[in-house]
Amino acid sequence: MSTSLLLHLAAWLAVALGAAHSLLGERYILIRLFRRDNLPQLFGSTWFTIRTLRFAWHLTTVAWCGFAVLLVQLGQGALTASSAATVIGCSFLASGVLPLVMTRGRHVAWLVLFIIGAIALARAAA
């Protein structure tokens, strides 16, 4: 098998793993965890705790998808510092959307993730 084909296979596996992690984790771990009556009450309720755990869980999938894009670019011989910075920037921006939406902006990780993404995209454009 060629290196390029193996890298594309690795990318596909990363996306599949991320999808399985999100879907199965949501169904078999998070839902069951959130049914417990002894979750910590951050900011006065379990709502923030649940939303924070949920976005943190799904961040893994976003990261693995970003790695998959890097693997594809590597397999195509198209990986450059600029293209890597673009993928990294977009991955951090996508990651920032999760806490912004899931906690309605109450968890400030979205701001840090957006700043990282913007810095990476600025490097890509330079």
86-107: per-residue pLDDT in tens?
A: 999 999 999 999 999 999 999 9
- Cα separation, 83 vs 12, in Å, equals 19
pTM: 0.92
Sequence-distant (≥ 6) Cβ neighbours of residue 108 within 8 angstroms: 99
What pLDDT score does 1 carry?
82
What is the total count of domains within the chain? 1
Q: Residue-wise over 56-78: b if at least 16 C-beta within 10 A, else e?
A: ebbbebbbbbbbbbbbbbbbeee
